Structure 1
Amino acid sequence: MVIAIGLEGSANKLGIGIIKDGIVLSNPRRTYITPPGEGFLPSETARHHQAEIIGLLKQALREAKVIPEEIDVICYTKGPGMGAPLVSVAVVSRTISQLWNKPIIGVNHCIGHIEMGRAITGAQNPTVLYVSGGNTQIIAYAEKRYRIFGETIDIAVGNCLDRFARVLKLSNDPSPGYNIEQLAKKGKKLVQLPYVVKGMDVSFSGLLSFIEERADSLLKKQYTPEDLCFSLQETVFAMLVETTERAMAHCGSNEVLIVGGVGCNVRLQEMMARMCDERAAKVFATDERYCIDNGAMIAQAGLEMFKAGVRTSLSDTFCTQRYRTDEVEVVWRDD
């Protein structure tokens, strides 16, 4: 029986999770929330993580009913993410690794999402749509790598939604994307927005500029904030479903796994399910416990790596803000 602890803090969510052979023992999380209309800055986010992490570590151990001596490996997010928050969590991870005399493993954040999604849903070899505030990728496993078949060429879909939420001055509690989703459910009129798919890649920056510049005039006409949220969601999600379907066709896949914070969106899941129904395929997704950044996903990926013999030397426990999904050799999978 192997027990792994995972520490995640690549953006505004700070999470610490403890896993015992695939079973989640604890997974508390704390979120840095800014006032409406504002994003979160790296320095302020790092200070939040620094202030909260020791209390969260004690909470995770208490809820899991585990003592440090019982933990086999420390896992932390190596990247990608925001520099200052990543480093803040890595410092604590290195410290407890030395204090507790435990091995440490640096985990790719994106692969953490994938391995947690596979573990929770039971998806075997899915085409993965990874959508969050900082990442948008269509991924499939092949020959010991998670290969990126398509991605955003500018901003991530979550970042697009978050920035439009600032235009409407929506609350950041619990998240701007969630509040856009709730408004979109009441939208009735579709505004025609730029639809930008370039081969297997997508682009959201032009679409965002288009709706940002016209938001005031549209709201003065016959459109409501609900209509604008509805239109934005329908457009960007259609782009994601199209590129995911193309990757499925290329790989001969009959499974889709949606991961990342935006993956909690019920409308995205509905649109993907409709496409999968037409292809006699299955769609897998999780709820906010595991879609949104959390420590358990880092522990799960680290656990798989640990059992496959992977270790990170203390001198290599730095952070990499642009840590590509396909840089990691997936030594723990045999298929």
Structure 2
Amino acid sequence: MIAIGLEGSANKLAVGVMLHPKDGGPAQVLANIRHTYSPPPGEGFLPKDTAQHHRAWVVKLVKQSLQEARVNVEDIDCICYTKGPGMGAPLQSAAIAARTLSLLWGKPLVGVNHCVGHIEMGRCVTGASNPIVLYVSGGNTQVIAYSSQRYRIFGETLDIAVGNCLDRFARVLYIPNDPAPGYNIEQLAKKGKQLVELPYTVKGMDCSFSGVLAYVESLANSLGINGESGAASEELTQADSDDKGQVDGKLTRADLCFSLQETIYAMLVEISERAMAHVGSKDVLIVGGVGSNERLQEMMGIMARDRGGYVYATDERYCIDNGIMIAQAGLMAYKEGFRTKLEDATCTQRFRTDEVLVTWRD
């Protein structure tokens, strides 16, 4: 069976083609392409501009994916698309494209939950059987465990997602959005030498990121960022930071990125470990765009090894939003008889992970 998947829940438009051999062999990635809408430094991506980007690129990417996969329209068994969650206007653009292809090609539709797509692609690539899942992206932060044909949410963010926290801080420092603000923060953080104490908010299985963001933003504003040019001085003196926590000597932008990463990732490791203890699991699977961060993988790996377990993670090909994950999850549901009627092929900004009946797992 062959499925084509369309993902457009945020600023990345992606198309993937997935093959599941009839003999039950391993799934094969035939094509996995995407194009990212990147606004100027200091700006976020607006829904209307992102949707316009998706509409402009979707036909090109679909054609390119079929060529790369070396398949014809006749070979496609189903068209999978992201039903939600995500940003409204970009989701609508991808859903309209999927419905149009369904009518043109005469192929059935499969609406896919974005988070379930991340999980199933992670399981497919890493071979993880039944791990605790940490889902971290620009719009979501959840700790998940599978039970009774549902992906149960054990904990989540109480306000903004961890990826949104990183993205917004990147805007404050005028860090470029290309290739991704979180990636650029990660590279800056590697140069950081001082760890500044920042607010640390974990409440049971849940965590909060708005407080730490507000605090580190107040420190960053003391760096003398020029809102028009994006220029910033590299150092913050001790006198400037006396009322915002003690530091030794001078504080740099790299130190702020380093401190932010260390703090928020420690919060994620804590709630993941608590979930592991609750369900008796030793392994963790990290999915979502932030999951490609090497420091997060390293910190989670240390914790998992101390518990006699292992951390499973993938690179940017499968962590960052992609069409393959939608094709993979959609094809698994399709094989179990799931179809989305044309009149029901809508999208929604709010689509909880635990709303999906996972019929393809025991």
Identify the TM-score tier after normalising by the shorter chain.
over 0.9
Query: Could you tell me how far 1:220 is from its partner in structure 2?
Result: 2.3
Residue 267 of structure 1 is matched in structure 2 by 295
Residue 154 of structure 1 is matched in structure 2 by 159
User: Which of these residues, 213, 218, 230, is aligned with residue 218 of structure 2?
Assistant: 213
Query: Could you tell me how far 1:213 is from its partner in structure 2?
Result: 1.4
- Please say if 1:329 is aligned against 2:362: no
Residue 9 of structure 1 is matched in structure 2 by 8
Residue 260 of structure 2 is matched in structure 1 by 232
Residue 309 of structure 1 is matched in structure 2 by 337
CA-atom RMSD, angstroms? 0.7
Residue 209 of structure 2 is matched in structure 1 by 204
Query: Could you tell me how far 1:118 is from its partner in structure 2?
Result: 0.2
Distance 1:157 1:28 in 2: 25
Residue 193 of structure 1 is matched in structure 2 by 198
Residue 179 of structure 2 is matched in structure 1 by 174
Distance 2:261 2:152 in 1: 26
1:13-55 residue CA offsets vs partner (Å, 9 max, x unmatched):
0000000012100011000000000000000000000000000
Query: Could you tell me how far 1:332 is from its partner in structure 2?
Result: 0.8
For the residue of structure 2 that corresponds to 1:286, the secondary structure is: coil
Distance 1:277 1:245 in 2: 11
For the residue of structure 1 that corresponds to 2:117, the secondary structure is: helix
Distance 2:190 2:307 in 1: 26
Counterparts of 1:241-260 in structure 2 under 5 Å?
A: 241-260=269-288
User: Which of these residues, 133, 139, 148, is aligned with residue 143 of structure 1?
Assistant: 148
1:184-235 residue CA offsets vs partner (Å, 9 max, x unmatched):
0010001100000001000000110111112233642110011000000000
Q: Pick which of 150-159 and 94-103 moved more.
A: 94-103
Q: Percent identity?
A: 69
Distance 1:113 1:141 in 2: 14
Residue 231 of structure 2 is matched in structure 1 by none
User: Which of these residues, 116, 120, 128, is aligned with residue 115 of structure 1?
Assistant: 120
- Please say if 1:298 is aligned against 2:326: yes
What amino acid is aligned across from residue 321 of structure 1 in structure 2? Q
**Runs of at least 4 residues off by over 3 Å:** 216-219
User: Which of these residues, 81, 87, 92, is aligned with residue 97 of structure 2?
Assistant: 92
Distance 1:50 1:127 in 2: 36
What amino acid is aligned across from residue 9 of structure 2 in structure 1? S
Residue 129 of structure 2 is matched in structure 1 by 124
For the residue of structure 1 that corresponds to 2:42, the secondary structure is: coil
What amino acid is aligned across from residue 319 of structure 1 in structure 2? C
Unaligned runs of 5+ residues in structure 2 are 21-26, 224-234, 238-249
- Please say if 1:284 is aligned against 2:283: no
Counterparts of 1:70-85 in structure 2 under 5 Å?
A: 70-85=75-90
For the residue of structure 2 that corresponds to 1:27, the secondary structure is: strand
For the residue of structure 1 that corresponds to 2:111, the secondary structure is: strand
Q: TM-score, normalised by structure 2?
A: 0.91
Distance 1:220 1:121 in 2: 43
For the residue of structure 2 that corresponds to 1:263, the secondary structure is: helix
Unaligned runs of 5+ residues in structure 1 are none
Whichever of the two has the greater Rg, that structure is 2
1:92-124 residue CA offsets vs partner (Å, 9 max, x unmatched):
100111111111000000000000000000000
Q: Pick which of 44-53 and 212-221 moved more.
A: 212-221
Query: Could you tell me how far 1:148 is from its partner in structure 2?
Result: 0.3
- Please say if 1:20 is aligned against 2:46: no
For the residue of structure 1 that corresponds to 2:86, the secondary structure is: coil
Residue 170 of structure 2 is matched in structure 1 by 165
What amino acid is aligned across from residue 4 of structure 2 in structure 1? I
For the residue of structure 2 that corresponds to 1:320, the secondary structure is: coil
For the residue of structure 2 that corresponds to 1:28, the secondary structure is: strand
Query: Could you tell me how far 1:315 is from its partner in structure 2?
Result: 1.2
Q: How many aligned positions are there?
A: 333
